[in-house]
Amino acid sequence: MRTQVGIVGAGPAGLTLAHLLHVVGIESVILEHRSRDYIEHRVRAGVLEHAIAELLVDAGAGDRLRREGIVHHGIELQFAGERHRISLSELADGRTIVIYGQTEVVKDLVALRLDTGLPLLFEVSDVSVDALESERPVVRYRHDGEAQVLECDVIAGCDGFHGICRPSIPTSVLREFSREYDFGWLGILAAVAPSNDELVYAHHERGFALLSLRSPELSRLYIQCRPDEDLDGWPDERVWEELQIRLGLDGWTLAEGRVLEKGVTGMRSYVAEPMRHGRLFLAGDAAHIVPPTGAKGLNLALHDVQVLADALGAWYRTGSQALLDAYSAECLRRVWRAEHFSWWMTSMLHRADADGDFGLRLQLSQLRYVTTSHAAATSLAENYVGLERV
Ligand SMILES: Cc1cc2nc3c(=O)[nH]c(=O)nc-3n(C[C@H](O)[C@H](O)[C@H](O)COP(=O)(O)OP(=O)(O)OC[C@H]3O[C@@H](n4cnc5c(N)ncnc54)[C@H](O)[C@@H]3O)c2cc1C
């Protein structure tokens, strides 16, 4: 088989890239090793930056997002028994965030792709990429038991952190930067209306908690835990009890409901440079990971593929490689801004044993500063909704 762009991975990055390319008449084949059902029900992110929601709408992939996405104008920071509102839209020139689950983004994009009749192959196996430094890179894979070779002009490695594309880049070329955290998030999805109109990021001596949502009927809640926390030790009652303690305030209680999903996510900051090797372009989690506190992972992935689709469009239209050559540096500027912001939010809000009481006092001081200084609050707000320029 032959195509212009071979896309490995049908997560948000791969699916969005395929759609953006289709809009400008560029062919692609998407190869995904999981099933359709699996990728459409993998509960992950849910906060879209202003510009990313606009990207999907402008590309014709945002009809349901426009109808069902919930626009938020602010977030709340809770510490020392009080909540403080950060008005995102007032501080960031009217920009907002849109609450719309990653599962829904993926469902919309899969449906659009299948409507076009263009290739999106699920449950492929033994995927590998080869001849990356040639003008005819190839993806090898097995589908329905048959070994296949896909010849491409370029390959987009959108196969997430554990994919095969990044490890195909020689170690002499790739530089990796990473930071591990000694905590993770225990998250639940619960069938109960969110108890607050906006997200609440809570600093607590027992550890961080987050009140978030996926829809008017679905709450998404997290508590800081160990990265290897055993879920067997966390029956639903204990999760709710801990959430009540960490999010509780005088005169306010968290509404509880049936737990639909429960999982532990480890935390990591990671960047691979460069994001291109020959004719292989990495995008999204394949190239970088952030802790989820800044709600940046999904947004960065979609930003990468927007830059890549523009660059490929220019190349096919004019023959100029200038934008392709600039791809890695252009993406990495935004990636490193998001890395810093996500690390900063994480450090401000989580209990880290190694930092002791000194660290706790610094966090409270920082939280007071962010909620009382216009300059500090503006910095948080403009990073949270997504900077226009980096
Ligand atoms: C448990 C969890 C919770 C998260 N929560 C949040 C959050 O609250 N907020 C936030 O902003 N971000 C969150 N993130 C991060 C966010 O979900 C990711 O940044 C986002 O999914 C990145 O999209 P992607 O398309 O780059 O990668 P992915 O979504 O990982 O998609 C990669 C795709 O490639 C496929 N694939 C992998 N290997 C191969 C292969 N060899 N061949 C073919 N296909 C392959 C995978 O099955 C997958 O479908 C979370 C991530 C995880 C893991």
Nearest atom within ligand 1 for CA of residue 165: 41
pLDDT at 163: 98
Question: Is 181 part of the annotated catalytic residue set?
Answer: no
Residue nearest to atom 4 of ligand 1 (CA): 44
From the list 29, 259, 39, the residue with the least C-alpha distance to 138 is 29
Burial of 353 (0-12, 13-18, 19+ CB in 10 A): exposed
Catalytic residue, from 22, 33, 50, 72: name it. 72
Residue whose CA lies nearest to ligand 1 atom number 6: 45
Asked whether 32 lines ligand 1 (CB < 6 A), one says yes
What are the start-end ranges of the H helices in 117-264? 236-247
Q: Is 126 left (phi over 0), alpha (psi -120 to 50) or beta?
A: left
Q: Is 9 in the pocket of ligand 1 (CB under 6 A)?
A: yes
- Pocket of ligand 1 contains residue 7 by CB under 6 Å: no
Q: Would you state the pLDDT for residue 354?
A: 87
> Is 262 annotated in the active site?
no
The verdict on whether 327 is a catalytic residue reads: no
Q: Catalytic residue, from 204, 277, 292, 303: name it.
A: 292
* Three state DSSP letters for 159-187: CCCCCCCHHHCCCCCCEEEEEEEEEEEEE
Q: Determine whether 274 is an active site residue.
A: no
pLDDT of 278: 98
d(Cα 101, Cα 111) in Å, to the nearest integer? 16
Are the CB atoms for 293 and 345 separated by under 8 Å? yes
In whole angstroms, what is the distance from residue 350 CA to residue 359 CA? 10
Residue 6: phi and psi, rounded to 5, are: -90, 125
Across the strands, what pairs with 4?
none
CA of 45 to the centre of ligand 1 (A): 9
Mutate to test the pocket of ligand 1, among 298, 331, 335 (most ligand atoms within 8 A of CB): 298
Mean pLDDT by 10 residues, the chain (390 residues): 97 98 98 98 94 97 97 98 97 97 97 97 98 98 97 98 98 97 96 97 97 95 97 98 96 95 96 98 98 97 98 98 98 98 98 92 98 98 94
Q: Strands of 138-143's sheet, edge to edge?
A: 125-130, 138-143, 146-151
Tell me how far apart the alpha carbons of residues 149 and 267 are, in angstroms, rounded to a whole number. Answer: 36
Supply the DSSP symbol for 44.
Answer: -
Catalytic residue among 50, 296, 303, 350: 296
In this structure, what DSSP letter does residue 65 have?
H
pLDDT score for 282: 98
Three-state SS for 58? Answer: helix
How many whole angstroms separate alpha carbon 326 and alpha carbon 380? Answer: 28
- For residue 256, the Cα-to-chain-centroid distance in whole angstroms is 27
Residue whose CA is at the smallest distance from ligand 1 atom 47: 34
pLDDT (0 to 100) of residue 389: 85
Res 288: pLDDT: 98
CA distances from residue 114 to 30, 39, 53 in whole angstroms, order as listed: 11, 14, 21
**Partners of 266 in the beta sheet?**
184
Could you give the CA distance from residue 71 to residue 50 in angstroms, rounded to a whole number?
9
384 is catalytic: yes
Ligand 1 nearest atom to the CA of residue 286, by list position = 26
Residue 352: burial class (beta carbons within 10 Å; 0-12, 13-18, 19+): middle
- φ, ψ of residue 255 to 5 degrees: the values are -75, 135
Q: Is the CB of 296 under 6 A from ligand 1?
A: yes
Other CB atoms within 10 A of residue 192 CB: 17
Nearest to 157 by CA among 305, 313, 364: 305
CA dist., res. 283 & res. 157, Å (int): 6
For residues 152 and 113, give the distance between their C-alpha atoms in angstroms, rounded to a whole number: 19
> Does the CB atom of residue 220 touch ligand 1 within 6 A?
no
CB distance 78 to 202 below 8 Å: yes
